[in-house]
Chain A
């Protein structure tokens, strides 16, 4: 064996890995610029050099943009609306998907395949495509411009049902049979046998559902008409169109970050769980 060749190869590998690292760092920084810029800009005084995009080098930091933005639009109400909508959807979804998932995993019944297929239709046709007729339905139900109207189309979740069914099917049958022998009723079976091992799936579903509905824009935009029901996303877009805002970027970024911050901070803390949850929510 000749020594110099592996040495040279190792050197080449070293340089290669260096280059890849430099490339990755550059790309990662590039990808982070928008959010970093927004964070810095939101803390800069409104009359700073921001109109030239120059926010990085300055040493004044201020909260005035946040206070000003908060005073210009009812962000407190928007927060309440978003939180209520997200929680309502989540709670109702958890009930409906657990019940339906349990039925599909635990029972045999006539037409089971057809009921299942019927529910899966929801996964093939995204709700956003149906906003015009759903708007008509909401008008018909008399709940236009309410938080309920934002939430109600999502009360049943084909994807969640599917996910729970998969998770419940992995519970060994003998555990279920033991539960039945012990005299468990159907809801005790769910609570004591099926649910405990399925908690990670529930959390994964919950995180992606909450993220999705916190961020949703188009449906709330068309179905709300007043600040009493408008969520953060629709409120933000309304805010950006206010006459007095114009091109006050520090103000705009402050408002943008207020809309984003709670979810984003939770994401930063539970990053791994979020990524797992998004992975789950895609892999059907």
Chain B
């Protein structure tokens, strides 16, 4: 089909056309990875005079990080954050899609209500939620008091609740996004399966969990991928709500990377964290690719 281009001798045009994109990818994706790998083998701290010049220390940055209880805590927080946000927002997304995928009046309102947080900047969303989490008169506490609960009040300042408040905001913001993928999936479902199920006398609940949800498997896998990557790369709300505190209770990997680089000015350690970060993301993407290819077969 495209043989005419192949038969001719070397033509520079296709290379020139892809060049701009390739150059930007090279400068802002590939080069930074290589630079981080290189820098991670050096000790360099910009705010300490004797460490300002880089000195080679081999794997010490990595060894230090893995022996640092704070860094282990950050990894733990990241896991907590992922476990706290990903499954719940996916399930909520599925629930929203079921509620919106009906032929009743007002569906447009439901869809808008569930989806609109997605369009807001995360910092705006978090600023509004900041009020809800305010001690004493915040909406959250008022509601909890109404339900007869008078426990800890200071959500974002409490070491046990800080990460929960960050998780709540993320769930509120993202569930509607996942809804639209399920919605698209639901609308493409073959109807004959449901007719057969109805003939077999399956009730709504059985149909839902034994037919609809399994048929959505590919959608679920796909949404899990975006949800997982999103959990890693969004920390905007942490800046607004908790600044990673109290005592790093809500610091996740990317936030830690930011503070090592821009608060502690530690080039070597932040480079090592970048490398760890990239390895995790690549491992995840590749595993995911293999899994979805296998299911195809």
Contacts and interface: CB of A to CB of B under 8 A. Distances in A.
A207 B73 CA distance: 38
Given A129-B277, A157-B21, A173-B1, A31 B119 contact: no
A133 B226 CA distance: 24
A121 B115 CA distance: 30
Contact of A260 (B30, B99, B120): B120
A129 B281 contact: yes
Interface in A84-123: 95-97, 99-100, 102-104, 106-110, 112, 115, 118-119, 121-122
Interface in B208-257: 222, 226, 229, 232-236, 239-240, 254, 257
B137 A53 contact: yes
Interface string A244-277: 0001010011011101100110011001001100
A132 B267 CA distance: 8
A132 B138 contact: no
Nearest to B225: A282
Contacts of B240: 237, 240
B116 A35 contact: yes
A161 B17 CA distance: 11
Interface residues of A, number: 96
Contact of A53 (B124, B142, B180): B142
A37 B139 contact: yes
A34 B128 contact: yes
Interface string B1-38: 11101100011011101101111111111111101100
Interface in B91-139: 96, 99-100, 102, 104, 106, 109-125, 127-132, 134, 137-139
B14 A107 contact: yes
A37 B143 CA distance: 14
Interface stretch (A59-67, A68-76, A195-203, A212-220): A212-220
A17 interface: yes
B7 to A, nearest CB: 9
A218 B30 CA distance: 20
Interface string A208-228: 000100111110011000000
Question: Which has the most chain B C-beta neighbours within 10 Å: A27, A51, A252?
Answer: A27
B239 A237 contact: yes
A103 B17 contact: yes
B123 A158 contact: no
Contacts of A51: 137
A38 B126 CA distance: 12
A109 B258 contact: no
Contacts of B36: 130, 132-133
B17 A52 contact: no
A103 B18 contact: yes
B17 A215 contact: no
Contacts of A222: 258, 262
A35 to B, nearest CB: 7
B170 to A, nearest CB: 13
A279 interface: yes
Contacts of B124: 233, 236, 256-257, 259-260
A131 B109 CA distance: 39
A188 interface: no
24 contacts: A24-B99, A28-B114, A31-B113, A34-B125, A35-B120, A41-B131, A53-B131, A96-B21, A102-B17, A103-B13, A109-B15, A126-B229, A132-B261, A153-B28, A173-B1, A215-B121, A215-B122, A221-B239, A233-B121, A237-B123, A249-B131, A253-B131, A263-B119, A279-B184
Closest 3 CB pairs of A and B: A156-B24, A133-B32, A28-B113
Given A132-B270, A173-B1, 6 more contacts: A20-B99, A133-B39, A218-B239, A249-B131, A253-B128, A278-B177
